[in-house]
Amino acid sequence: MKKIRTILALCAIGFVLAFSAGAVVAQNDPIAQRKALMKAIGDTGRAPAAMLKGEQPFDLAAVQTALKAMQAAGKASLALYPDNSKSGGDTVALPKIWENKADFNAKLAKLESDATSGLSKITDEASFKASYPDILRGCGDCHRDYRGRR
């Protein structure tokens, strides 16, 4: 009985170790992380895009969720384009990023600061319609130069 308990305990420790090793790999995978952050912007941005077109009623909370995702992505992405992440992981990031790193990083910083000012400026439907399209222009400005196609 004692032996079985020891074996079970060892299995549990093994499981925990294997699990935390997996988590460390995910944390050290900048390509997966930057893609997940961009995907979060895309996903949370669907509702505001529909609101702009008048296909969905205005919902301030949903707009703020999208802006917060942009803020988080703009900030965290600065560290997610190390030199060893130019290829692999199904990335569509273009080599031009690493040739113009200062410009690319400035565009990421702008994504964060635009989202931050959007969070304070956008308080109702009128201010949403006035400011949000300008924020979205930043997406295309960066993708045009720095994102390839899958």
Question: Which residue reads 């080599």 in tokens?
Answer: 95
Window 111-130: residues binding ligand HEC (CB under 6 A): 111
Question: Which residue reads 């895009």 in tokens?
Answer: 49
- Which of 76, 73, 77 has its CA nearest to residue 45? 73
* Residue 93 binds ligand HEC, judged by CB under 6 A: yes
Q: Are 116 and 131 in contact (CB under 8 A)?
A: no
* Residue 51 binds ligand HEC, judged by CB under 6 A: no
* Nearest CB to ligand HEC, comparing residues 2 and 84: 84
Q: How far is the CB of 64 from ligand HEC (least distance, A)?
A: 14
* Residue 26 binds ligand HEC, judged by CB under 6 A: no
- Which of 117, 143, 112, 127 has its CA nearest to residue 51? 127
* Residue 146 binds ligand HEC, judged by CB under 6 A: yes
Q: Tell me the torsion sign for CA atoms 86, 92, 94, 97.
A: negative
* Residue 86 binds ligand HEC, judged by CB under 6 A: no
* Residue 31 binds ligand HEC, judged by CB under 6 A: yes
